[in-house]
Structure formats: structure tokens, C-alpha cells
Amino acid sequence: MPVINTALCSFGMSGWVFHAPFITTHPGFNLYAVVERSKNVAAEKYPAVKTFRSVADMLLDDAIELVVVNTPSVTHFELASKALQAGKHVIVEKPFTATVAEAEQLIDLAAQQQRLLSVYQNRRWDSDFTTVKNMIASGALGTIKEAEIHYDRFTPTLSPKLHKETPTPAVGILYDLGAHLIDQALQLFGWPQAVFADIAIYRSNSKVDDYFEILLYYPAMRVRLKATFFAKEPQGYIIHGTKGSFIKSRADVQEAALQAHIVPNSEGWGVEPVTESGWAHYEKEGAFVKEQITTATGNYMQYYDGIYEALVNKTTAPVTAADAKKVIAIIEAGYKSNAAKRVITV
């Protein structure tokens, strides 16, 4: 099978946790290069990897076919543009870009260069989201009337990662965690009619937004998306339909496994504890029952499986740039709504 030489634009948490383990485990990819300005952490872990001190130097290497732009979000547009101009296929970490205009420029550039452009919305392959998606698709809840999706954390202190706390384009909780929630909502329910958003800063000395609530308006349904850094008892998914309700915690185990250096696709990969099973209270066989629903298995490798198929067999990317542009459009509408304190038609 063809093997795709792949390069990472950085080797921080995103590189060593969310990308390198899948690239090095998948038989269709070769972790060929990594950019590290002064350290050699990647080479210590993967001795065969080639280390570059700048993205510019890395892009000069003709052996590289696929570039993962996993640098701070403020750099996504610039580095993705340069990678495409260098003739590379590109994966961009979320958030895709700071603006819809930037997203459109990258989409046009990828088309001109005839190169794949995808965005790493890995939370589509979380066990919890997969379970919710399957539950809705089964029709067991009837017609969905209300949905609430949270990405809650309890981290009231500022992040040591300065790029996450510096008020620059594409920074803040709406771009960071909101990109996941919005993508999941659009996958489940499609494009809304309008958006209302409440965005705030609650942490002491914070200069970037760290709380949001977004209400997506559909013809006969409402979807709420919420994230905060002050949730000691986090919530996950709350789905209400004409035949009942489903409640599921946000409990995917893959990130923790990756941080513990567990190899993807090893035994038990992506399997949540039974204690995190969702609860359905719904009409079943003519009576209302309340029962646990077995959680589906999560697997981020499916994203890289899809990327491989897209590059080798010319299938559609697992996350298209067009889908990612829609996420940025909702974020832009959210900021506009918050500033004007009104509902924004999208």
C-alpha cells in the first residue's frame, strides 16, 4: 500500500498526543518530519523522524506529501496557505481559521493547487458523541425538540500556554471548545436559521472569553451549546424528543489514554467505563422505561483512515474544509450576536 510521508508543524501536546500516535500506528502514513525550534523531543521518541527548525525549511522538502498545521490557532491561515502553495496536502487543527474570509481563501487555494484540505475535528469520533448520534438516528427518541451540549471544565486559573490567553484572532473558549460543540451540533441537526450568543470573561485576570452559551434556532427545535471553566460537576449531552429523553456524560477516554502513552487501537481502545453509560427515559414497546444505553466505542483513527482513503482513493475527506467553514461562520455570528445583544440570522 502507498505510504504517505507526513510532517507536523509542531510537537507540543497536539503533536505528540493527537497526531503522532495515529500517524505512526497507521500503516499508510510515515511520520517523516517534525518542526521543533530548539528541542529534539520528537526524535527522541521517534528516532527516524527528521527535525526542522522552521516551517519554511520543512516545506522545502519535496518528500513531504501531507502537512499537519497543529500550531497556535492565530497561525493556522498563514501556515496552511504556505503549505498549500508548496504543493502539500494539508490538515489544519481546529479552529480552522479566524474568519470565514480566511477559510474561503484556503478552500480556493486548495482547489487551485488540487490538494486535499481537511480540518481535525476529532471529537466527531468521541465515544459519547457517537452514542448520542446513534441514539438520535435510531428514532427511539422520536422527533428531537430540544438538545443541549456542554463542554465543561473546572480550570479557573489561566493556562500556562500563553498563546491560549493572549487576545489574538481565533483565541478564546468559543474558538477552542466551541469549535467542537458547533461541529457536533451541525453534524446532528444541520444548518440553523439563526443564532443567539452570550459570551463572557469570568476568570480573574483573563483577557480572553472563557464562558459562552449559544442558542441555535431551528424551525421546530432549539439547540443550546455551553462551555465554562467553572463546572466542578460537568454536564455532557441532554436530548429531548417526542418519545423521551437521553442524557449522556462527556466521558470519552481517548485523550487520557494518549496522554498515558497508550497506543491507538490497542485492547480496550476507546471503551468508556460502564459507569458512564447514558440513560434513556423513553417510550418502548408501548410503555415508558428508563434504561442504561451501552456506550459506543470511540476511535480517532477513523479520521486518519478517512484521510488515507481521500488521498489514495480520492474519496471525500472525513472532515471537509467546507464543513469547517460553517463552524467559523457560526462563531462569527455568535460574536456579532453577543455584541449586538440580539438574534442573528445565518
Q: Give pLDDT tens digits for 260-273.
A: 999 999 999 999 99
Single pTM value for the model: 0.96
Residue 159: is it exposed, middle or buried by C-beta count within 10 angstroms (0-12/13-18/19+)?
Answer: middle
Spell out the domain ranges in the chain: 4-120, 123-299+330-345
**123-299+330-345 and 4-120 share a CATH fold:** no
Closest CA to 236 of 293, 289, 303: 293
Q: Please report, for residues 64, 200, 211, 213, the alpha-carbon distance to residue 338 in angstroms, rounded to integers and kept in the order given.
A: 43, 9, 12, 10
pLDDT digits (tens, 9 = 90+) for 116-151: 999 999 999 999 999 999 999 999 999 999 999 999
Is the domain defined by 123-299+330-345 classed in CATH 3.30.590.10? no
Q: Identify the CATH assignment for 4-120 out of 3.40.50.720, 3.30.420.40, 2.50.20.10, 1.10.3720.10.
A: 3.40.50.720
Q: Which helix (H) or strand (E) holds 139?
A: none
Question: In which band, very low, low, confident or very high, does the pLDDT at 1 lie, cut at 50, 70 and 90?
Answer: confident
Find residue 289's DSSP bridge partners: 282
pLDDT of residue 285: 86
Find residue 149's DSSP bridge partners: 225, 237
